[in-house]
Structure 1
Amino acid sequence: MSAVPADQPHPGAWVGVWRAPGTQPEASPLVDHVLSRVHASLAEVGEVSLGGLSDADVERLVDELTGVTSRLTRELCRVVAEADRRRLGDATGARDVHQWWAGRSRHTHADAARLSRLARAFEEPLHAPTGQALAAGELRVEQARVIVGAVDAIPASVRTAEGVTRIIDPGVRAQARDHLLAAAAEHDAKALRRLGKRILDVVAPELGEAQEAATLAGEESRAGATADFVMDDDGNGRCHGRFSLPSYIGAMLKRHLLALANPARHTEAELRDERGGWKPLCRRMGEAFIEYVERYPVDATPQTSGVNATIVITMTLEQLLGEHATALLDDGTRMSAAQARRLACEAGIIPAVLDGEGRVLDLGRSRRLFTKAQRIALGLRDGGCTARGCETTASGCHAHHDDPWSRGGLTDLANGRLLCPRHHRLAHDSRYAMTVHADNKVTFARRT
């Protein structure tokens, strides 16, 4: 920032101006001066033409502005802490400073609360060095939050494996803080959080293992006790949901989906979206989750009243045979008959076919699915997806009935073929015609 003009008094000269008790203070010239300089400096940065800068100058701006952001956040925390001390929120009936601040700044209450807690922490002698590192631009806000949290999480005592309670010396927290501050020069907030969980291994190794065991036991207990799963249908053909699971279960699910979404299992066409661009990982993970559910082994599904947890699709014979028809699921929702026929090939879904008067003509049986031995034989025969030009290996394919099982087709090798998930959908899409060639390969053409 520019120096104070020679014809103006130094800002420090405005501090401590006396006023009569009970009178409203005038706007501080010091605050006016500081804020005007801040805004002027930011305006100068905004006027810099980035296109004409060298790569080195762009990198320098990124680095310096990142540090400036940290410094400004620390000063904001300092001012918020002062507002908390003065209970400025009382004037508007706010319960606490973060509610008052959220109303003035349009921050969410959660964001304001997080920064307010950090501001209060910096006022404590234990966390003052962390605030100073943030003020110097050496630390990022999330790093500071992680360090404060890790230091505060160190208990006053630890119970060892022998059942002895050991008091932790107060100086251990300061050592932990200093170690994490040093580590912050090389680690981001995520890595710091991992280090913070085992910080006693570094500063008090004789107590670290016992504390880590107690921490993990507490986390696992809370994770199991608070597990939840919520899913809602939006009425437009999609379900949305959220879940909270123990970390190891999340890791297992993610590993399974990543294996299904592995680009090596798919052709280039399958990795591109409807506009020809590459599908982002989140899209591929979503498609992997669909495949994960559709291909879950029917014989492994849990049972209720002696019946596997399968979905029953109800349709008339005309709907089953028709190209443009719908089917009714047992929960009251609907899907296209083409989708029902595709799922009947090997997903855990049973079609219940009715006559014109609603009587059951045929109830699907699990033997419609190809057996493990048949899948192996199909893999040896077909080598992978039988769609011409597709390179998906056998392990990534579905077993498809050429003569649909839902129309009386047999579940045998002569009537089966391997198709990747994409081509399996096309085989049941009424908009496409599938042609089987003499070499057992198939091609698809959009109907006109």
Structure 2
Amino acid sequence: MTGHLDPLHEALTRLDEVWSGAREAGDLSRTQLMAVTEALGLLHRRSGAMLAEVAACVAHESRTELGADSLAKEQGFRNAAQLIATTTGATTGDASRLVKVGEATAPRTNLVGDRVPAKYPAAQQALASGTLSAQAFAVILALLERVRCKIGAAQTAEAERLLVDKAAGLSHDDVRRLVTRAEAWLDPDGVAPREQEQRDRQSLSIYERDGRIHLDGDFDAAHGAPIVAAVNGYVSALFAARKDRLAPDSPDADHRSVAALRAEALSTICAHALGCENEAPALAGATVVVRVDLKDLTDGTGYATIDGSDLPLSIAATRQLAASGGVIPCVLGTDREVLDYGRRLRFFTTAQRLALAERDGGCAMCGLPPSMTRAHHIRWWKRDTGPTDLENGILLCESCHHRIHDNDWEIRIEGKGRHSRVWFIPPPHVDPARSPRLGGRARFDLAA
């Protein structure tokens, strides 16, 4: 077991080194806080990997064929998941996922007793090194197990390698986004059947309680996209009005939360739909943008995506949605639009914004949907004579735009066209090595 503990001891030693001299977190400088946070993250990932390994062993010693001799029953528990959940303070669902991660990454023996590699060796190495958490791999594992029989062993192994590599350094929420997009890429033929299942599950409950009206909705991608676009467009328009009218510290400034503004948006849009004579509410140019490759559209194969959503859309649903009002079908693979304007135009055109959204997927830094971003010049149009071209453009929300300029981050575009990549280079006081951080859609797309 000593060899298994070495990575954990290394992580503990690193934490001890960066915490050295401080009695509590309040005594740490900002540099030390970041170092401690990173050391704790490494410790968390490595201890989680060890816990998954142990959980698999507990499950093996608690298998049903052992009957009363099962470890879990011996300790007074119904099964291994309950034992692990009680011991670690987790849910039984989390405990079951830990067992599956441990079993999928443990060395195995064949029928003659020889040791063979783990079922998912790339994940095993990433867990052992601390570059991937057990929780993140549990999400990836669920996808690989769903598509394994359909795509075959070779493509599963390649998908495992790509997903494990992409997931390193991502938050758990971003790993889920990665997996959602990867499933459509791995199994495009499965998009349409899943779509029907999701359509059958959609619902909207409306009820009154405690003097208030409650709404609880569940929509598939095609029906949910117009709702999201309209509501977020209204909120974006309100934010723009806030910025133009009042300073944030003004006593009359609107400090309502985004959730409160969304509630107002839905009410206002519905009131207008009922036939009020007022002008349509400002929606900040909100539209539903559906993106699809020309080959997929003509062949009827593959899938499409909706700006601001990670959910894939079948070609049949794409054609149906594109026939609706307020929907822009963005067909990729044609050269009919001029997307670079040099110094002739100061502001990016609608066509350029669509192209930037294809590359950036929304805010290239934080991932907010395209409807909540603006197209900005990397080299400023006026001060630095930057051209209004795609290679000098980027989609950013207001918060990230200010954060980049206020803290001296740099932006670089690698390559050209829809498969180019956006890199954010932190300033020396954030990262002395100034290691580039990948942004935009390329963080989540396996085909990028």
What TM bracket, shorter-length normalisation?
0.3 to 0.5
TM value normalised by structure 1:
0.48
Q: Looking at CA atoms only, which structure, 1 or 2, has the larger radius of gyration?
A: 1
